[in-house]
Structure 1
């Protein structure tokens, strides 16, 4: 199953755009499929819409099995003047125009790759979540023994910056555990690969290190165990999922990553798991290239307030093998 190129570019822009207003705060930009919604401009600093203009099938060899699907997309930027705004609608349009230009060009060779992490996540999030626990056995994602991170602890895992969130176990035989929930924005049938990563370290009186596993929602067990070196310095351990990935994405679109100390507490000395960063890198089966062809300003001056717009023409493509039945 191939992901809709419009969905791919919408996600690319939404995940990567960072627009700073004149007062230093981040702009609130709504990114969606077509079309312009003037109601959004009342509540957001700007709107970016993506739509498909044309798709072409290009046959690359004589048997017609190898093909390139070339898509032409229209990416539109929309802003307007509003009362009490710190950045004018015209200036905001210019900022958004440059940011759309930057994001598409810089990610032209990997538009189908998305990194999910906990940047800007807090307890109010209904997508990604992180939890901690202490237990003598591995807990399922639905176990009541998990406690969600506080907002201050979420901020410690926003970046890989040596600011760590910790889970501590003090009871005899207890392991320190952490659980990470990643929300997939793509249909699980379109996901080609997912690489889950935990960066940090674990300590215990019986030996240092940590282990990571991924929850197989199809059979209800933790699988794909990977263990770090016995060090007290940050290391990154990854788990890669491929052909059987749909077994790990649950019906709500979540992937679950477990991290635990390699050894438990002895009741006198704590076992502790320290997390610097956690992420999930997802590659979908879809467009593998995108770039800006051209752009032009399209202001709407026949309405009040004026709507400032820029229209980008963006090309994307993917290669396919089409078998004859």
Structure 2
């Protein structure tokens, strides 16, 4: 019997790439997103390409009842959920002074509470069977915030706190449920075309940019290996560690560079639509408009996948170096 994976935010971007990755490995997949048309096209493509069962359910992750209903339908039609991946997110490009309380509320409901709701729906079923895996998707911006994305950054910080708290509870209860988190770098996804933007210029990811398939492979790896956490991209590692060492310096650096780094010189169309409250129609896929700049693989992800071999090589190198040093000293 095939395993079943559920991916939220599956209509485009990282979620769409993650669905492809799980289907490629033979999983039956459930796709949760708001846009029915994109879900229908994705389901047709997945069934034709990989021969798996695919179920698309239009769902707003901010609605806990909708996620609970989706989980019940998935188990009725596809079977027990083995893996649940929380990808859905929303962001707004604007300084805090130009944001409304309703925009903060909605962005937090999608990006933070969407992961809480998904985790709760999955865990209720996995707890009863005492097996399963939940993958929460974080970001380098959940450790080091940037200007113009306070809603998203705050929500990703919250996801990290929620995940750590729940992990200890799972350990306390002795459950055989694996909870892991994948922290992502800048990615070439459609979010930079459809995120609500009040800056008058088109948004862009801050280099280095990675293709969404890099994130998808990391998510699948985290779901199938007992890793507490996976950092994707050396830029993510640098952001996390640098903020621990010199947060004040980074505050000042981002005050100067954080605005222009996230905006292009192209003017934003006056009628540009944002997807914060309603989905933006269109045939969007996993990729955004930055294919020429995006990297297809991550060195940091390679070392994470093969960490035992990596550290063995490092260890052998260190021992060899020490031995060479001792021999040289012995000749002196």
TM-score using structure 1 length: 0.24
Greater relative contact order structure (CA < 8 Å, 6+ sep): 1
Q: Is the radius of gyration larger for structure 1 or structure 2?
A: 1
More strand by percentage: 1
More helix by percentage: 2
